Amino acid sequence: MVKCAICVHLIYSDIVQKCREELKAIRETNPDLKPTLAIIQVCLCCYIPADFVSTQIGLNVMQICLPRQCTEDEVIDEILRLNEDSRVHGIFLHLPQSFLSRSCHFEVFTEMFVAVVICQHVVRSSTRWIQEQQYQPWRLRPLKLQPLSPVPSDIEISRAQTPKPISQLAQEIGLLPEELEAYGNTKAKVHLSLLNRFQHQPNGKYVLVAGITPTPLGEGKSTVTTGLVQALSAHLKLNSFACLRQPSQGPTFGVKGGAAGGGYAQVIPMEEFNLHLTGDIHAITAANNLVAAAIDARILHEATQSDKALYRRLVPSVNGVRCFSPIQMARLQRLGINESDPSDLTPEEVRAFVRLDLDPEKVTWQRVVDTNDRFLRKITVGQANTEKGHARQTQFDIAVASEIMAILALTDGLADMRARLGRMVVGSNRNGQPITADDLGVTGALAVLMKDAIKPTLMQTLEGTPVFVHAGPFANIAHGNSSVLADKLALKLVGEEGFVVTEAGFGADIGMEKFFNIKCRTSGLKPDVVVLVATVRALKMHGGGPNVTAGVPLPKEYINENLQLVADGCSNLKKQIQIAHLFGVPVVVALNVFKTDTQAEIELVCRIAEASGASAAVQCHHWSRGGRGSVELAQAVKKVASQKNNFQFLYNLQDSIVEKIRTIAQKVYGADDIELSPEAQAKIDYYNQQGFGALPICMAKTHLSLSHMPEKKGVPTGFILPIRDIRASIGAGFIYPLVGTMSTMPGLPTRPCFYDIDLDPVTEEIKGLF
């Protein structure tokens, strides 16, 4: 009996020592990890070796005490709950043992030995958990693509391909089950915790797809982006991710149709991509309109109540106790009021606290809806008798023009998003001071509405390669790029040798410039290469061809070979290459080939592009062939991205607002100078006074010309850029000068796209969606 006890003691000591050594090694490489043993105890009278586990071995202990009369189901429920808790690495179940006949001392010794053995398993479980958390090589299985000729419609192509279950794709690219939040079988939100798991993982290569000044038809940047990642992953076997903007439903039902790419270079299912997706735009709409409702309600209540009545309602007595909410305490601090007891404020302090004194004429916040509705461009609200004569003129914007959308695209996490939402300026008081969402007390509610929208949505291309779809800010009054968070997640997932391909809206003079000066400045990410998309038809337009109009057949100049028009139009291509070089980033020109392009035209464009400084210029056939049609582009991108570049910003944030605007106008657009209206100059003075002068600039200008004149094609010169007005998105973090009139609410054409959209009531298939 003595020998047995000695043997047990030696085994016990050996296990304890090994556990300590393994724990030490774990903590050296993973200082934030806390291996935890959960002990479920039934009845308080039994001995639990929790202190021993904690002090002698060094494990964290989570102790759960259940009552003696608990049922078996309650114990099982607790076990299941702990199994889902990522903080727990082992469970020790301690049930009553009233039938035991051994001495208490032997029972304690036995319990301690069992605990040690369990601790050993917890330590080993922690080691396995660490291994699971490490970056894993992709095991991507591309989907086979069999292109047809002639090429069917986008929706027919999308429907003919069966997408992988989204859980399978997630597993193939190294996502853990707990990092995925499925929305059906083909799309899922990805949790931001991935950034913590891969915080030490090097980023992959960062590729921006931009374009020359487009025709009203667009030149296929989304299609090039999708075709490029299909080529990289499905054909070159390189990890790659596309990061795309979520389209607004306004254009989808209006004039443009879908935005999931096209032909055999699409995101699928295209119906889900183009419609509700995972509800992010609906969340933005709800949050935006909550702010609008809060503004008008506050103006009404302040106009119809005394200070005392306002204070009583803003800080009510609940169960006999009055206290400020946390957001009200923050407002008191901004006002310089240091009291925390509502009864201690002076009448003057009460007045300062309850009166925002918003000037109805200076409210800048608009309501939004995700529909093209021209009759909402100017409206009157507050006409009911219940609003007591407090009517005012206002307007609706399209949902994606909301500042909340721009914030979603630029934020780096929940805390940052909440802070940005709170800084949003909604108008001015009668003394000219800015009023924010924090002042309205609505910030926390906005964060709640946006807590799911902050997670990027995972989808796939036609060839089964991964895509993040996230955010879709306007490319004129905002920066027109998908989210920083999607890019950051993707850069970690692809690994050091992988590629993340993202797209900038409009031409390079707008979307690319804002990508560099705003998005990259915010994210700290540095691009490796720019893919500049061009088409023969757009170059012909810039060379002097007739106007191109959506919905109208192309003139013969765009169908027949015309080398002179192409050569003359390449001036715009050369200028856009030069703009990218201002930022020190190399350029690969992707010529998006159409069936009307001739070989002579294609070869001419590629020669001129390379002579103009492009590192490579290749023709792309992804629309008709899928990823196989962009292999040459993928090879060029791989080669150029491996070379070192000298990325730099165009201006310093400490430059004056005027100087930053002038720098963009002269160096990017080619203007001789800028001209400020009196209103614009007054706004600059105001923003400088408020401390907003060091924000980056987001120019709101037509995308149809390098200048402010849409009809001026090619490379206009000798013009002065007029700055009509200047506005600010303080939460998003930029100032946006208005060059001409900018519409933030599109209208429906005579024959909108919705005429062709329908639903089969038997199969539930959508028809006519592009």
Residues with a catalytic annotation lie at 221, 223, 245, 256, 475, 506, 594, 623
Cα–Cα dist 195/210, whole Å: 27
Structure tokens at 196: 């913590």
- Say if residues 78 and 53 touch (Cβ distance below 8 Å): no
Type of residue at 58:
G
Run of H or E residues at 501: strand 499-503
Residues ≥6 apart with Cβ < 8 Å to 379: 393, 394, 395, 396
Contacts by residues 22-28 (CB-CB < 8 Å, ≥ 24 positions apart): 22/123, 22/124, 22/127, 23/57, 23/58, 23/59, 23/123, 26/123, 26/126, 26/127, 26/130
To the nearest 10°, report the CA torsion of 55, 56, 57, 63. Answer: -50
Q: How far is CA 729 from the centre of its chain?
A: 17
Nearest to 208 by CA among 666, 672, 518, 556: 518
Cα–Cα dist 106/25, whole Å: 33
Please tell me whether residue 429 adopts helix, strand or coil conformation. strand
Q: What is the DSSP letter of 734?
A: E
> At what angle are helices 280-304 and 443-450 packed, to 10 degrees?
160
Q: How far is CA 165 from the centre of its chain?
A: 23
User: What is each CA distance from 760 to 249, 752, 763, 766, in whole angstroms?
Assistant: 20, 20, 6, 6
Beta-strand pair 720-723/725-729: unpaired
Residues ≥6 apart with Cβ < 8 Å to 104: none
Cα–Cα dist 597/618, whole Å: 14
- Say if residues 663 and 552 touch (Cβ distance below 8 Å): no
Structure tokens at 168: 């399978």
Structure tokens at 488: 């950051």
CA geometry: angle 125, 130, 134, nearest 5 deg: 145
Residues ≥6 apart with Cβ < 8 Å to 5: none
Run of H or E residues at 32: none
- Say if residues 300 and 390 touch (Cβ distance below 8 Å): yes
> At what angle are helices 307-314 and 347-354 packed, to 10 degrees?
70
Cα–Cα dist 578/560, whole Å: 29
How many residues in the chain? Answer: 770
Query: How crowded is residue 333: how many other Cβ atoms within 10 Å of its Cβ?
Result: 10
To the nearest 10°, report the CA torsion of 156, 158, 159, 165. Answer: 180
Instruction: Could you list the beta-strand ranges (E) of 323-470.
Output: 358-363, 367-369, 379-381, 392-394, 396-398, 425-429, 434-436, 457-461, 466-469
Cα–Cα dist 465/177, whole Å: 18
Nearest to 40 by CA among 65, 74, 60, 61: 65
Structure tokens at 88: 């727990």
Residues ≥6 apart with Cβ < 8 Å to 45: none
Beta-strand pair 265-268/457-461: antiparallel
Cα–Cα dist 424/287, whole Å: 12
